[in-house]
Amino acid sequence: MASIPLALEYKRYVLYLCRCSGLVGIESLYFCRHCKLLRCMDCVSVQIDGTCISCPSCNDSVPQTDAKAKKFRCTHCYQCPMCTTPLATRFVQLPPPPGKSESAPDTSSGKTDASPTKEGTGESTALTPKTSKRLSLTPSSLKSPGSTKMYYLFCTSCHWTTREVDIPDKRSLLDFKEKPHPFQDRYKALLSYYKDLDLYERVSSQNMSRQVSGRKPRPFSSLLDTSKYKKDPEVQRVVKQVQSVALSAKDPVRLPDSYYTEPVDVSSLTTIQQKLLDPSHQPSHVKDLWPHPLPLISRKTIRCRGCDHILLKPDVNVNLVRFKIQHVAIQVVPRIRLINVPKLTLGEPSLVPVSITSPVSYSMTISFNQLSSSKKLKEILCPAVIPEGSFVLKSLDDTSDLLDDSSQSVSLGADQSDYVLSSEPGRIVLKFGAIPSREDIDAKIGFEVVFSYEPLIEADRDPGVTELTVPVIINCGHSFA
């Protein structure tokens, strides 16, 4: 059974504090070059272009009316229920049945089967894993005209396949369908009924307004009076059907005895994210997962709420990944990473190695200050020991690997060399300290990163703004007494 990779269960150790007091990763932050401030998704406005809707996998453009009818899902592409990665397609060749006589290919129409065969792959050729042992492949059987191609879906990230949940292989990619819902027919019947009821109410209100003469009727008078609809036999029939399938609160669902006696296998249970991907079924076990249709995407333009300037604008062509305008924090703000999770002792200072990488092409000067946090942050933060002084990160270019290490070393003072673990062009590893004060929560330290800023565009240069400050919070892990 495929398992979730460790990268998907990655714990976010480094978070940046936005101006709106939100803690997000640097990959989710934007940088406004006019306000000189970081912006998260709560600090920007998103403009959606409804005329440009496409599938991110097959790049098939869909009109807005068709996308709404398809529930904004692609009918040809599917995503993995384990890690939400778009599923790839694989095929195998099935040999002809033993009793069937091999016939020559039909060349009367001038068409021959020139599709490539998959030889020597070692993959199962059965419709299901249960029948894979009863069939054998040989090069002669693969090249026979009676062989057929069978397709199945495969995830390139977590290696989940449709065969793991006993979904049979299909002769065509269009044969893969969404898992049917047991109450789908009932939903459609109720939807059609309430549409008819809405039409009946509107027609009756129009007839009532025509009968009244001499004065204007009160607005929504016919809609507020629901007594006549309750007496309708069609309405009473639908109400009885709804009450018949409704679950009574007096009869709750009882768990089996094995739920309390047998040990729980965590790897066979689904996570909350996997359940929310399929809200109609919400499977509890991995064996019940089903591939979901891939959601469609639209072209979005992101603007700063402070100055209304564009921060992110994609290209007109939806098949291209590049952006016409792109101002993100990862292009300006230094990247901070935790080298490893330190071993902490309650009440004693512990070493926290932190890596700082410069994303810009000029020499960046970095210094650190204590975080002037609010009362809520002080309750979760522990005392921190930060390096003193300023550090210069030299620009990283393509010729840095050809130069000597002595010419690329960072010039440090006598006191600053005690904080540096290693240094290289565009990157430095510093020593931070954490003093855990509580054992029940993870030890977190906070500080402010002050770095030099030089706009690349001449029009954005401001003599009064040469440094920017970004608050950072690092999760150092759990402390041990």
| 124, containing H or E segment | none
Q: Which of 129-133, 164-168, 318-322 has the lowest mean pLDDT?
A: 129-133
Considering the domain architecture, whether residues 370 and 442 belong to the same structural domain is answered as: yes
Reported as a pLDDT band with limits 50, 70 and 90, residue 467 is: confident
Summarised one tens digit per residue, pLDDT across range 425-448 is 888 888 888 888 877 778 888 889
Considering the domain architecture, whether residues 351 and 365 belong to the same structural domain is answered as: yes
**To the nearest whole percent, how much of the chain has pLDDT over 70?**
69
Considering the domain architecture, whether residues 447 and 361 belong to the same structural domain is answered as: yes
- For residue 35, is it within any domain? no
* Residue predicted with more confidence, 183 or 247: 183
Number of structural domains in the chain:
4
Considering the domain architecture, whether residues 160 and 202 belong to the same structural domain is answered as: no
CA distance 128 to 166: 6
Considering the domain architecture, whether residues 410 and 461 belong to the same structural domain is answered as: yes
- For residue 466, is it within any domain? yes
Considering the domain architecture, whether residues 442 and 310 belong to the same structural domain is answered as: no
Considering the domain architecture, whether residues 387 and 340 belong to the same structural domain is answered as: yes
- Contact at 8 Å (CB) between 91 and 121? no
- For residue 420, is it within any domain? yes
CA distance 393 to 357: 8
Question: Residue 310's domain spans which residues?
Answer: 40-72+296-327
pLDDT over 50 (residue 115): no
Considering the domain architecture, whether residues 90 and 145 belong to the same structural domain is answered as: yes
Summarised one tens digit per residue, pLDDT across range 288-326 is 888 988 998 888 888 988 888 888 888 776 666 677 777
Question: What local confidence, expressed as pLDDT, does residue 242 receive?
Answer: 58
Helix (H, G, I), strand (E, B) or coil at 23: strand
- For residue 193, is it within any domain? yes
CA distance 416 to 414: 6
Considering the domain architecture, whether residues 197 and 285 belong to the same structural domain is answered as: no
pLDDT over 70 (residue 375): no
CA distance 251 to 277: 29
CA distance 306 to 30: 13
pTM over 0.85: no
Considering the domain architecture, whether residues 49 and 160 belong to the same structural domain is answered as: no
Question: What local confidence, expressed as pLDDT, does residue 243 receive?
Answer: 58
Considering the domain architecture, whether residues 406 and 382 belong to the same structural domain is answered as: yes
Considering the domain architecture, whether residues 147 and 282 belong to the same structural domain is answered as: yes
- For residue 419, is it within any domain? yes
Most confident of the following: 94-98, 334-338, 434-438, 460-464: 334-338
pLDDT over 60 (residue 19): yes
Neighbours of 159 (CB within 10 A): 14
- Tokens 């690092």 found at: 474
- For residue 164, is it within any domain? yes
